[in-house]
């Protein structure tokens, strides 16, 4: 093996197919979803992409149990960063879900590359228990930087985008497509590191 190849294989951003063991995870709070995800939950310290057709179908509610666990485990207390959310997080609902509204940090960067750049900085800061970001079109290289920042900051990054980007390349370790159905969510697992595609119908999130 050449020295150059050996150096490349040591790079922390490289993933090899033979390394596809169960990732470190945190339960989603929904048994049916945990049963389909490698490791039984959301993977930690990486990029997770959620394709959402419209804001408010239950995508934030889907994340609340994990956000509660992540913030409760953080010592000292850390922030949950919200990058360009379509609506201001509703403090009473967050408090009812067991989250401290005072530890929510809402950031409104300009559209485009600035949003992903801001996500990178929040992830690398080490001050966040989780980072949620809403973005549109993005180059694969920009998404890879977000994923690397999540790994470096040991912080999960939840990126919410339109289903219009379903066919775009994505380095996300986990990629889900969500759709509303009868006070619940249909969840399609498009990509999961160490697992395969799956579909969960009417996940009861309400």
Instruction: Tell me the CATH number at 68.
Output: 3.40.50.300
> What digits encode the pLDDT tens for the residues 49-103?
999 999 999 999 999 999 999 999 888 889 999 999 999 999 999 999 999 999 9
Residue 62 lies in a domain: yes
pTM for the complete prediction? 0.88
**Mean pLDDT across 163-170:** 96
Residue 141 lies in a domain: yes
Question: How many domains does the chain fold into?
Answer: 1
Whether the pLDDT of residue 19 is over 50: the answer is no
- Which residues, 6 or more positions from 90, have their beta carbon under 8 angstroms from its beta carbon? none
Residue 44 lies in a domain: yes
CB of 42 closer than 8 Å to CB of 49:
no
Residue with tokens 């197919």: 17
Residue 143 lies in a domain: yes
**Mean pLDDT across 17-26:** 64
* Other residues' Cβ atoms within 10 Å of the Cβ of residue 181: 14
Residue 116 lies in a domain: yes
Give the pair of three-digit tokens for residue 135. Answer: 């973005």
Domain that holds residue 185: 26-203
Residue 120 lies in a domain: yes
Residue 20 lies in a domain: no
Residue 14 lies in a domain: no
């Amino acid at each position: 093996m050449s020295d150059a190849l050996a150096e490349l294989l040591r790079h922390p951003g490289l993933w090899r197919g033979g390394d596809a063991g169960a990732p470190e995870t945190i339960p989603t709070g929904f048994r049916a979803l945990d049963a389909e995800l490698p490791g039984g939950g959301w993977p930690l310290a990486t990029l997770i992409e959620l394709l959402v057709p419209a804001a408010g179908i239950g995508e934030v509610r889907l994340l609340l149990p994990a956000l509660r666990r992540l913030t409760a485990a953080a010592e000292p207390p850390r922030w949950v960063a919200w990058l360009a959310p379509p609506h201001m997080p509703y403090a009473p609902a967050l408090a009812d879900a067991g989250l401290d509204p005072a530890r929510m940090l809402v950031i409104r960067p300009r559209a485009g590359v600035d949003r992903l750049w801001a996500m990178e900085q929040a992830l690398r800061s080490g001050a966040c228990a989780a980072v949620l970001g809403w973005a549109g079109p993005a180059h694969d290289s920009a998404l890879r930087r977000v994923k690397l920042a999540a790994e470096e900051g040991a912080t999960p990054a939840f990126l919410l985008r339109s289903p219009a980007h379903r066919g775009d390349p994505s380095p996300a370790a986990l990629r889900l497509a969500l759709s509303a159905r009868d006070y619940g969510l249909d969840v399609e697992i498009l990509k999961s590191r160490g697992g395969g595609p799956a579909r969960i119908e009417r996940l009861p999130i309400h």
